[in-house]
C-alpha cells in the first residue's frame, strides 16, 4: 500500500530514514540508545540518545500525535511532515537546530532526530545563572545578532516559529545560541492565519494580538 506521505520516509539528501524497532522505550529506534529525558513540551517528549552506528549524541523527539491532531487543528502526518520540512529547510544554519533523521512508525509513533546541544536554554540561564542580573551589552548584541539571523533565515524560507521564547533557545558550549522546538511552526502558505492562529505560550505574543486588536 502506498504511504499517504511518501516524502516522510526520505530526507533532503534522499537517503532512507532509520527503521524503528518495536517501541520498547520512549525513543525505541534500533539505531539509537535512549540515555535520558531532557524535555517535555506541548508537541512532544525529547530524549537524549546515542547513535549506535556513529557514537554521536543526538536529541530524539517523539511527537504527541493525539495532542497535535486533536488540539492544534491537523492530521498528525501533516504536523509531523511540517516540522520535518521546517528543519530540512535550513540544514547547516549556525543559529538553528539541525535535523539528523525522521521516521513515522506504523502505529502512530512519530520520531524526529536532531543534533544535541549540551547546554542550557536561555530561559534557564536567565532564571538560574543570571538571577535577574542583566547581561553585558556586548553579549546581548552578540546573542541578538545570532537570534535575528536565525529568525531571518526562517522567514526567508517561508516559515514562522510561532513559539519563540527563552526556553526555546539553547546555548552551546561556545556560548552561541540555537533556536529549537519547531513543533508549532507554520509556513506562510499553509492556509493558517499566521499572526492570529493559536500558539502555545501566550505570554510571548504581541500584546495587541492577545487583546484581539
**Which are the catalytic amino acids?**
163
**CA atoms of 52 and 20, how far apart (whole Å):** 13
- The cell numbers describing 64, all together, are 504527541
Q: Is 96:150 a contact under the CB 8 Å cutoff?
A: yes
State how beta strands 177-179 and 169-171 pair: antiparallel
Transcribe 63-74 into DSSP letters: E-HHHHHHHTTS
| Cβ burial 197-209 (10 Å sphere, 16+ → b, else e) | eebbeeeebeeee
Cα dihedral: 188, 89, 23, 67 (round 10): -10
**CA atoms of 50 and 79, how far apart (whole Å):** 26
**CA atoms of 108 and 101, how far apart (whole Å):** 17
Q: Is 61 annotated as a binding residue?
A: yes
Which residue is listed with cell 516559529? Answer: 161
Total Cβ atoms within 10 A of residue 93: 16
The binding site for ATP comprises: 61
The binding site comprises: 61
Amino acid at each position: 500500500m502506498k504511504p499517504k506521505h511518501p516524502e516522510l520516509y526520505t530526507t533532503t539528501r534522499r537517503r532512507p530514514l532509520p527503521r524503528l524497532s518495536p517501541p520498547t522505550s520512549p525513543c525505541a529506534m534500533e539505531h539509537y540508545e535512549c540515555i535520558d529525558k531532557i524535555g517535555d513540551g506541548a508537541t512532544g517528549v525529547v530524549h537524549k540518545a546515542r547513535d549506535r552506528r556513529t557514537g554521536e549524541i543526538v536529541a530524539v523527539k517523539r511527537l504527541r500525535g493525539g495532542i497535535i491532531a486533536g488540539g492544534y487543528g491537523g492530521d498528525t502526518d501533516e504536523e509531523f511532515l511540517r516540522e520535518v520540512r521546517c528543519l530540512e529547510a535550513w540544514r547547516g544554519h549556525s543559529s538553528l537546530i539541525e535535523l539528523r533523521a525522521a521516521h513515522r512508525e506504523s502505529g502512530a509513533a512519530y520520531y524526529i532526530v536532531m543534533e544535541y546541544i549540551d547546554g542550557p536554554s536561555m530561559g534557564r540561564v536567565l532564571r538560574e545563572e543570571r538571577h535577574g542580573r542583566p547581561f553585558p551589552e556586548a553579549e546581548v548584541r552578540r546573542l541578538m545578532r545570532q537570534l535575528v539571523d536565525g529568525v531571518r533565515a526562517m522567514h526567508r524560507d517561508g516559515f514562522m516559529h510561532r513559539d519563540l521564547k527563552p526556553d526555546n533557545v539553547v546555548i552551546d558550549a561556545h556560548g552561541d545560541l540555537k533556536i529549537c522546538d519547531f513543533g508549532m511552526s507554520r509556513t506562510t502558505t499553509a492556509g493558517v492565519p499566521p499572526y492570529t492562529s493559536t500558539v502555545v505560550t501566550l505570554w510571548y505574543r504581541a500584546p495587541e494580538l492577545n487583546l484581539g486588536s
